[in-house]
Amino acid sequence: MRSKTSFFNKAIYKKNMTLYWPIPVCYLLYGLIKIPGSLWSGLRKNVSAGNDVLVTLFSSLSVEQDLYVLAAVAVITGMAMFGYLFSSKSANMIHALPVTRTELYVTNVISGLTCILLPQLLVFLVSVVFCLLRGITCVQYLALWLFCVAASGIFFYSLVCFCVMITGLLAALPFCFLLLNYLSVGVVLGLQYVLSSLGYGLSYSGMDPRSVGYILSPLAYLTDLVGFRVDYSIASSGEMKVTSFSFDGTAMLLIYAVAALVFFGLAWYGYQKRRLERTGDLLAFGWGRPLFRWGFGGVAGFFGGIFLSNFLGSVAVWMPKPIVLLLILVFGMIGFFIADMLIQKSFRVLCFRRLKECGCFVLAVCGCFAVLYGVGYYQEQYIPDESEVASAYIYMNYPVESKGADVKRVTDIQREILSNREEFQSVCREEKNYTNLTLTYCMKDGSVLSRTYQIPSETEVSGQLAEEVFACEAAPDSFMKYVVGYDYDRITQIEEAQVECQNANQNYVTFSMDEDTARKINEAVYKDVEEGTIQKYNLENYILNATGTTSEYSYAYLTIFFKHTSSSWGDVYSGYQENTQADKGLAKENYEPVPDASGSIYLKFGADCKNIMKTLVETGVISSEDEIIFSSDGETTMG
């Protein structure tokens, strides 16, 4: 009996919806709990707390969790609708019916999209009715949410359909889907992992979402860069209010929707060419088999070889390069033949043809290793031109920022490290006593270049390098930014201060000071900072001593409370984070801090801090300098 239509079959559609109704029902229940449910619960709490109702609305509309759930639903739906393609008996039976492959494909696609889109539409309608009944009229944001999840759902399901057609095992489908969703991120992370082991100072920090290649990892891109951007203000009473909002990613969602049409078309073409006798194989098409062998073998080789060299006790760059290459080749060949065993579903894979292909694979791996080694060496030796650097940081105790002509001190330190690279690596390999020193360049084009070097303390060069780095951190201006904040010179009022120490009986004592005395102590602190006597009590010279150097000095604690001219002044860590990690993703929730201009200075000081000690005596806080007993880290101390 011929079908009445060559594109859609009502009987198959009805059968799909009858058999697989739990999928849309479960997804619907999730959506009802996620939006109207959380709205109902959140509004009850916010009304009693007096918070803005929009705070609860935008919290409910957060799409990051929705996208992960949606991806899982798309995979489950695809496995259900096309499950017959993974069983020889089912595939032969259904294709014996008087229906075309196009008809089966289109019907299953429409069935799957129904399971995904219908629950989303119902959640949207219920949420709109709920909001209107509660007096919330800004339902246009619910429409944006629906557009986001609907476009994403269509794309995810198209990708699942594509994966169905190129795989022959049901268990391989989720892995194929994840691989395609994190393809570019995985490739970049893998390359960074290999390069970090082949170049001194190189590290891996993930893929920059601002790069074009990030689009090739759809799930990562959508969860990081698509959604509502909401700014909240928090009053001193704790009340929250939405100050601004926007939706990012509309254009990208449209691009992914167009890409979905391409994947649906490729999946349809694959269905027409799919051979039923290959049902149950790992891959449905022969052209994918060598790609799988070479890809699996390459990943296993580079990851396994470098991981083992690291596990054996050293970073791979410290090992002879031929040994590293040998490990990569061994693991690569093992991975190559394991992949072939999975394809052939047999342990008998050693034949002349496969050995010949493996020989070509080995040559390709050697070539890739040579290229990666060359790239790693180039990146290792690369020092940016000072004119191209907006700001640079030296980071041992804290990030010290350099701009303009001061950038040269950072590049000089990097040149000194690279000139002693072999000695540093050799000592670190033998002694394992080193510290990490990070140099970061924020380029004028917006990119960030970072190098983290392992510096030993046993070499003669390390002593000179330690003095140079410590001098940067101990510079008065940099040190005050570290202990107070960027605008340390804008402190308007010193309120009080106190000294914590031990007395002669080893009892804890606290000397409190009024506003006038605290102001004089604050002036004394500035003088000791200018003279460089207080820095050694608060900064560790890790290059000279991996366990720190402040334990060599006895000290007491000084705390000064003050008022600042601005309520939004920041510290060096927030500035470093902002400059080096800016625009790494969508800041979906930003909180404006409660306006508060208060702050405190918390320092260690010792007997060498003559200005502080003199002021304590002159103001009558202590009768003599002997009244303060300084303690070291090896003894009982305050704090």
pLDDT (tens digit per residue) in 455-499: 887 777 888 888 899 999 999 999 999 998 888 887 878 889 999
> Is residue 332 within 8 Å of 300, Cβ to Cβ?
yes
| 275 residue type, one letter | R
Geometric angle at alpha carbon 66, from 61 and 68, rounded to 5°: 150
Q: How many CB atoms lie within 10 A of CB 610?
A: 14
Helix (H) or strand (E) run with residue 434 in it: strand 434-443
Q: How many CB atoms lie within 10 A of CB 337?
A: 19
Q: Is the pLDDT of residue 624 over 60?
A: yes
Higher per-residue pLDDT: 50 or 439: 439
Q: Is the pLDDT of residue 48 over 60?
A: no
For 609, residues 6+ apart whose C-beta sits below 8 A from its C-beta are 524, 528, 533, 534, 537
C-alpha to C-alpha distance for 472 and 402, rounded to whole angstroms: 9
- From residue 517, alpha-carbon distances to 416, 497, 524 in Å are 46, 8, 11
Residue percentage of the chain with pLDDT more than 70: 90
Query: Looking at residues 299-303, what average pLDDT do you find?
Result: 90
> Is residue 86 within 8 Å of 279, Cβ to Cβ?
yes
DSSP readout, 550-594? GGGS-BEEEEEEEEES-SS---HHHHHHHHHSTTSS---EEEEPP
| 124 residue type, one letter | F
Q: Is the pLDDT of residue 140 over 80?
A: yes
* Residue-level pLDDT at 618: 92
C-alpha to C-alpha distance for 509 and 518, rounded to whole angstroms: 17
Geometric angle at alpha carbon 252, from 165 and 442, rounded to 5°: 115
C-alpha to C-alpha distance for 471 and 541, rounded to whole angstroms: 10
Q: Is the pLDDT of residue 547 over 70?
A: no
Higher per-residue pLDDT: 53 or 197: 197
> Is residue 535 within 8 Å of 553, Cβ to Cβ?
no
Residue for token digits 């008809």? 103
> Is residue 400 within 8 Å of 393, Cβ to Cβ?
yes
CB-count exposure of residue 277 (10 Å: 0-12, 13-18, 19+): exposed
Query: Looking at residues 624-632, what average pLDDT do you find?
Result: 81
* β-strands 589-592, 508-513 pairing: unpaired
Higher per-residue pLDDT: 76 or 225: 76
Confidence grade of residue 407 (pLDDT, cut at 50, 70, 90): very high
- From residue 506, alpha-carbon distances to 111, 322, 501, 630, 636 in Å are 79, 61, 9, 10, 8
* Residue-level pLDDT at 576: 86
The domains of the chain are located at 10-168+250-278, 288-381, 386-474, 483-627
C-alpha to C-alpha distance for 605 and 483, rounded to whole angstroms: 13
Buried b (16+ CB within 10 A) or exposed e, 166-188: bbbbeebbbebbeebbbebbbeb
Query: Looking at residues 107-133, what average pLDDT do you find?
Result: 94
Average pLDDT, the chain: 85
Long-range pairs for 293-297: beta carbons < 8 A, 24 or more residues apart:
293/336, 293/339, 293/340, 293/343, 293/357, 293/361, 294/336, 294/361, 294/364, 295/339, 296/335, 296/336, 296/338, 296/339, 297/332, 297/333, 297/335, 297/336, 297/339, 297/361, 297/365
Phi, psi of 280 (to 5 degrees): 100, -15
Instruction: Record the tokens describing residue 355, joined without a space.
Output: 């050995």
DSSP assigned state of 317? G
Higher per-residue pLDDT: 268 or 578: 268
Q: Where are the alpha helices (DSSP H) in 312-351?
A: 321-344
Phi-psi region of 631 (alpha: psi -120 to 50; beta: other; left: phi over 0): beta
Handedness of CA 471, 473, 475, 476 (dihedral sign): negative
* Residue-level pLDDT at 628: 82
Instruction: Record the tokens describing residue 491, joined without a space.
Output: 């402190």
Query: Looking at residues 498-507, what average pLDDT do you find?
Result: 80
Query: Looking at residues 28-56, what average pLDDT do you find?
Result: 77
C-alpha to C-alpha distance for 508 and 500, rounded to whole angstroms: 7
Instruction: Record the tokens describing residue 320, joined without a space.
Output: 């002879």
Q: What pTM does this model have?
A: 0.81
Lowest mean pLDDT of 112-121, 435-444, 547-556, 601-610, name the range: 547-556
Query: Looking at residues 222-234, what average pLDDT do you find?
Result: 81
* Residue-level pLDDT at 520: 93
Confidence grade of residue 360 (pLDDT, cut at 50, 70, 90): very high
C-alpha to C-alpha distance for 223 and 530, rounded to whole angstroms: 49
Lowest mean pLDDT of 28-42, 195-209, 346-360, 381-395, name the range: 195-209
DSSP readout, 457-524? SSSHHHHHHHHHHHHHHHSHHHHHHHHT-TTGGGEEEEEEEEEEEE-TTS-EEEEEE-HHHHHHHHHH
CB-count exposure of residue 617 (10 Å: 0-12, 13-18, 19+): middle
* Residue-level pLDDT at 545: 75
Lowest mean pLDDT of 123-127, 182-186, 229-233, 519-523, name the range: 229-233
Task: Give the residue among 84, 145, 143 at the shortest CA–CA distance from 111.
Answer: 84
Long-range pairs for 580-583: beta carbons < 8 A, 24 or more residues apart:
580/393, 580/440, 580/442, 580/448, 580/450, 581/448, 583/209, 583/210
Instruction: Record the tokens describing residue 236, joined without a space.
Output: 């001193």
Residue for token digits 């000290």? 555
Q: Is the pLDDT of residue 366 over 90?
A: yes
Give the length of the chain: 639
C-alpha to C-alpha distance for 34 and 59, rounded to whole angstroms: 10
User: Hey, which residues does 498 pair with through a beta bridge?
Assistant: 512, 559
